[in-house]
Homo-oligomer: A and B are copies of this chain.
């Protein structure tokens, strides 16, 4: 179905919905779904509209900018697949899940390549007919390692970079180049257990629930805007290894859910939080 997408992020003011839908009306398109949200504490307005019918996108963009406040962000796009790069380390479960979906056209993305600091995941990547770039981190500085990775990224120019259990810390210089474009899956229910070994931390704390969090990456470790979270129940019989094993299915499904939301343009960043039009 030929649907188009209108995404707006601007300062709130009276009559916005009326004027925006007025522009759509004047272009004679059909609204299929529509969602708005106003963050009254920050005075910000967010809107996501799916519509059908042909229209002059350049003119519609101009008409929108005329009625919107200054500094508004407007995105007018067809519903199309996003070009993405995946980064992984040694664990297979998140990458494998995304590759299977991709093989069957069950993800709204084109995977351009996979970058990894280990060789382990080469086979599963290449037999899915995708390029695999091994960039070892050993014996070089973090800065050098990231520069090598940047060189590869720049060849592909992805819209999103998905860290599918990529386990190296990325410097602010790196992440700052891809604001709101890097999605990470963290193996805990943030903000609990930030950093390394969250399952071991969870085991020692004796929690009865563990979880996973998908979030956009900013310069602070595990502190970027959260997209999606989920949990599973655990019990006293489980050690840290058992928790990690149980946690893998949650990480997989949380990342899968987050990617679907992001690639369907249903997530908008609002400060250090997200608006999710699900």
Check A96–B92 contact: CB distance below 8 A: no
Q: Mark contacts of A4-36 with chain B using CB atoms, 8 A cut-off: 1 yes-contact digit, 0 otherwise.
A: 000000000011011001101100101111111
Contact across chains for B206 and A229 when beta carbons are under 8 A apart:
no
Establish whether residues A249 and B256, one from each chain, have CB atoms under 8 Å apart when the complex forms. yes
A103-B124, A231-B231 provided; 18 other pairs, C-beta below 8 A?
A14-B25, A15-B21, A17-B34, A22-B22, A33-B37, A37-B237, A39-B236, A92-B106, A96-B101, A97-B97, A190-B192, A191-B207, A206-B271, A209-B211, A209-B231, A236-B276, A249-B253, A252-B253
CB <8 Å contact, A33 and B93:
no
**Least Cβ–Cβ distance between A43 and chain B, in angstroms:** 12
Q: Is A218 an interface residue (CB 8 A)?
A: no
Asked whether any CB of chain B lies closer than 8 Å to the CB of A66, the reply is no
> Which residue on B lies nearest to A270, using beta carbons?
B236
* Identity of the chain B residue whose Cβ is nearest the Cβ of A39 in the assembled complex: B236
7 cross-chain pairs, A with B, having the tightest CB-CB distances, nearest first: A206-B273, A96-B100, A18-B21, A127-B127, A192-B192, A92-B104, A236-B275
Count of A residues near B, CB < 8 Å?
A: 73
Asked if A89 lies at the interface with its beta carbon under 8 angstroms from chain B, I say: no
Residues in B whose Cβ lies below 8 Å from that of A31: 17, 38
Known contacts A208-B228, A209-B231: does B106 contact A100 (CB below 8 Å)?
Answer: no
Is there contact, CB below 8 Å, between A18 and B25? Answer: yes
Contact with B along A221-240 (1 / 0, CB 8 A): 00001111111010111010
Residue of chain B at shortest CB distance from A233: B233
Closest to A272 in B: B206
> B-facing mask of A152-177, CB < 8 A → 1, else 0?
00000000000000000000000000
Q: Is A59 an interface residue (CB 8 A)?
A: no
Contact B249 A230 (CB under 8 A): no
